[in-house]
A and B are shown apart, each in its own frame.
Chain A
């Protein structure tokens, strides 16, 4: 993810103008009527913590349940960082033990998707599965070497599970969403912890695939991971397509996010916008084509912005040319600058002094 995650965790990356990565998983949970959610965070959690400073936007401000954020902590027993996904759960196992809900949904926070987890749970129960893994068939030829790939038999039981294979045997990938019985999860996590194993995929899914009933639940809907710059860029650009916007923005249920109280976007004389998304609080004076502009961005006179992503609160001075770029948030770009991504997407991080307008 290069420079972009220097500033924040992937799940706090801004998406589609108004959202952050984690909004999608959190909204799915609240829309699936899950009311007790734990977020495990460790890497660069500043932006994420700020985003989660109130749980009311996702309707988690409840007496029953609520939103819990777990960061690694020094305790009498341990003082280590989360050494893996399973370890993050293991270090907070008392939360799981003290809960009474029969099932647990595990999701990664850096995926853009809409899902009713109740459907997965129904399937899980119907299949009498121990673990259900949500998966998606990728187009042949898609680069899937950074995903876990799955091979299932005819009744959808997972036969092979490879993590980040160099040569994949299947183009069905794991979406990083799992359903599992709470007691089952506690048992597996405790066992792995005893053996000093810390990764949920490698040490639980793959190790247990022959003794436990692990099933795949295939989805056909939109799903995208934003863990690389290329995927991040393409996921944002997907929102320029009417069918994707319609699916996420206009169809029930909604995706929720923290409300920022920005004024409406303003277009002054000379603004020319073609096929672009513009967010609240922006002031546009220049030309924008095929781009996604995040909140509170100022675009000066006679600017030309093409095929780019401008993150939150960027100031772009007059006569600036930006093409094939991702401009990091809170940046200030001097007037008369020129940026063009020649081979792929260039990331622009500029922190000049901002003149007060």
Chain B
């Protein structure tokens, strides 16, 4: 008989639209992070390190890269005879076929998957946060309190609390009330979107609320459980946790990795982060290269100068090129004598010789100032930028561009140049 104490359901279907062109063709959990990793590696590694060996990954938006990355779960030791990792896309049913319309709706549509493992507890995770957490400790907390639902929370500064879902607890950490993005927060414990449910409680809540449109954990399931009087507890987490929801927070979280002893340390032996690594060879640093305060992935070849940057695997940086405060993802090729300042360059991009990114005065982005800001230059995957082109700040370029796309070889600060359609 199949029996798992706790299984995990990882929500990885969202687009993450505030990451702009980075998520035009890949789901946010599959976006590269910290040189060789992808965002989903963090929750997946946490699962296996916590002894959770059965993980359902719910995908919907642009799943190709995510599916390829997860495969049968070999990098995380999640290739199991029983359990392991299973990718769960929405599927057609004889009646009521629909996409995943909300976080809890996605889980609802996979009740059969969860049931097949006969679990006591179900762990709900989201695939877009950077953190290390032992879910087993959280489960112990859940059991000790006799909780039916445990919500992981972290203390945030009071002035920021109004951006989060806030839990108000009594002295035993039992949740007495909660509020979604409150004007005047009564507590600073923010929900991290990580829940442990007793399977019975979760199943009942899902079935009874199935008709609710856009069924959501924060909006519907948690309030429902609270209303019927189930014991809800808040598990306080004090480690590093980063929501990389915006380009600037994504950039900052990457930059934090290059500190001498970073707050989020990838070099700890006892809580490794695993990833699918396609490139194995060592990296080569040429006689005239300079690399300082940077991390670089396998197989990259550096002929130029790299300062304060995060460079992926299989990247080529040409002679005379200077890269500062930038993120360069896997397999990108950068020509000679380029200059990159505060740029985010996605995977498989080609920058020809003498390309300059992030120069000139700041100007707000013309199309999406709420996405492209903080002076960042964002280049979408597989883009090509022809030689001698200079690009300003708060800009975005996506697609194969040629000299004709640039007036006087210059793209002013704040401009948007998107030549790629969604499907190509």
Closest approach, in angstroms, between the C-beta of A213 and any C-beta of chain B? 40
**A window 273-287: CB within 8 A of B:** 273-281, 283
1/0 contact trace for B308-321 toward A, CB 8 Å?
Answer: 00110000000000
Assembly CA distance A161 to B280 (angstroms): 38
Q: Name A281's closest neighbour in chain B (CB-CB).
A: B267
- The interface stretch among A92-100, A171-179, A252-260 is A252-260
A-chain residues with CB within 8 Å of residue B266 when the two chains form the complex: 263-264
A-chain residues with CB within 8 Å of residue B293 when the two chains form the complex: 267-269
Q: Is the CB of B283 within 8 A of A249?
A: no
A-chain residues with CB within 8 Å of residue B294 when the two chains form the complex: 266-267
Q: Is the CB of B281 within 8 A of A248?
A: yes
The answer to whether the Cβ of B299 comes within 8 Å of any Cβ in the partner chain is: yes
Please report A residues at the B interface, Cβ cutoff 8 Å: 16-19, 56, 240, 245, 248-249, 254-257, 259, 261, 263-281, 283, 292-294
Q: Is the CB of B285 within 8 A of A273?
A: yes
Q: Is the CB of A266 within 8 A of B258?
A: yes
Q: Is the CB of B292 within 8 A of A16?
A: no
| A267 and B267 in contact, given A17-B282, A261-B272 (Cβ under 8 angstroms) | no
Closest approach, in angstroms, between the C-beta of A124 and any C-beta of chain B? 31
Q: Is the CB of B295 within 8 A of A266?
A: yes
Q: Name A290's closest neighbour in chain B (CB-CB).
A: B287
Q: Name A240's closest neighbour in chain B (CB-CB).
A: B284
Contact of A264 among B260, B286, B290, B297 (CB under 8 A): B297
Q: Is the CB of A255 within 8 A of B274?
A: no
The answer to whether the Cβ of B119 comes within 8 Å of any Cβ in the partner chain is: no
| A277 and B296 in contact, given A263-B266, A264-B34, A264-B36 (Cβ under 8 angstroms) | no
Q: Is the CB of A18 within 8 A of B281?
A: yes
The answer to whether the Cβ of B291 comes within 8 Å of any Cβ in the partner chain is: yes
Q: Is the CB of A56 within 8 A of B287?
A: no
The answer to whether the Cβ of B168 comes within 8 Å of any Cβ in the partner chain is: no
Q: Name B269's closest neighbour in chain A (CB-CB).
A: A296
Q: A263-B267, A264-B298, A274-B288 are in contact. List 12 more A-B contacts (CB 8 A).
A: A245-B301, A259-B75, A264-B311, A266-B267, A266-B294, A267-B294, A267-B296, A268-B293, A271-B291, A275-B287, A278-B282, A278-B296
Q: List 20 A-B contacts (CB under 8 A).
A: A18-B298, A245-B284, A259-B280, A261-B75, A263-B34, A263-B36, A263-B267, A263-B273, A264-B36, A264-B295, A264-B310, A274-B285, A274-B286, A275-B285, A276-B285, A278-B285, A278-B296, A279-B282, A279-B298, A280-B298
Assembly CA distance A16 to B280 (angstroms): 10
Closest approach, in angstroms, between the C-beta of A272 and any C-beta of chain B? 7
Please report B residues at the A interface, Cβ cutoff 8 Å: 34-36, 74-75, 258, 260, 266-267, 272-275, 277, 280-299, 301, 310-311
Q: Is the CB of B299 within 8 A of A272?
A: no
B-chain residues with CB within 8 Å of residue A273 when the two chains form the complex: 285, 289, 291
B-chain residues with CB within 8 Å of residue A263 when the two chains form the complex: 34, 36, 266-267, 273, 295
Q: Name A292's closest neighbour in chain B (CB-CB).
A: B282
Q: Is the CB of B295 within 8 A of A267?
A: yes
| A264 and B285 in contact, given A18-B280, A273-B291, A281-B267 (Cβ under 8 angstroms) | no
Assembly CA distance A264 to B327 (angstroms): 14
A-chain residues with CB within 8 Å of residue B310 when the two chains form the complex: 264
| A257 and B292 in contact, given A264-B34, A264-B297, A275-B286 (Cβ under 8 angstroms) | no
Q: Which of A56, A255, A264, A269 has the most CB of B within 10 A?
A: A264
A-chain residues with CB within 8 Å of residue B75 when the two chains form the complex: 259, 261
A-chain residues with CB within 8 Å of residue B272 when the two chains form the complex: 261
Q: Is the CB of B283 within 8 A of A265?
A: yes
Q: Is the CB of B292 within 8 A of A267?
A: yes
Contact of B287 among A265, A268, A274, A278 (CB under 8 A): A274
Q: Name A294's closest neighbour in chain B (CB-CB).
A: B282
Q: Is the CB of B280 within 8 A of A257?
A: yes
Assembly CA distance A56 to B79 (angstroms): 11
Assembly CA distance A240 to B311 (angstroms): 21
A-chain residues with CB within 8 Å of residue B296 when the two chains form the complex: 264-265, 267, 278
B-chain residues with CB within 8 Å of residue A271 when the two chains form the complex: 291-292
Assembly CA distance A281 to B34 (angstroms): 13
B-chain residues with CB within 8 Å of residue A17 when the two chains form the complex: 281-282
A-chain residues with CB within 8 Å of residue B285 when the two chains form the complex: 273-278
B-chain residues with CB within 8 Å of residue A261 when the two chains form the complex: 75, 272-275, 277
Q: Is the CB of A264 within 8 A of B282?
A: no
Q: Is the CB of A264 within 8 A of B35?
A: yes
Q: Which of A266, A273, A274 has the most CB of B within 10 A?
A: A266
B-chain residues with CB within 8 Å of residue A293 when the two chains form the complex: 282
Closest approach, in angstroms, between the C-beta of B79 and any C-beta of chain A? 8
Assembly CA distance A245 to B316 (angstroms): 13
Q: Is the CB of B282 within 8 A of A18?
A: yes
A-chain residues with CB within 8 Å of residue B295 when the two chains form the complex: 263-267
Q: Name A56's closest neighbour in chain B (CB-CB).
A: B74
Assembly CA distance A240 to B258 (angstroms): 26
Assembly CA distance A333 to B286 (angstroms): 26
B-chain residues with CB within 8 Å of residue A272 when the two chains form the complex: 290
B-chain residues with CB within 8 Å of residue A255 when the two chains form the complex: 280
Closest approach, in angstroms, between the C-beta of B388 and any C-beta of chain A? 26
Q: Name B260's closest neighbour in chain A (CB-CB).
A: A268
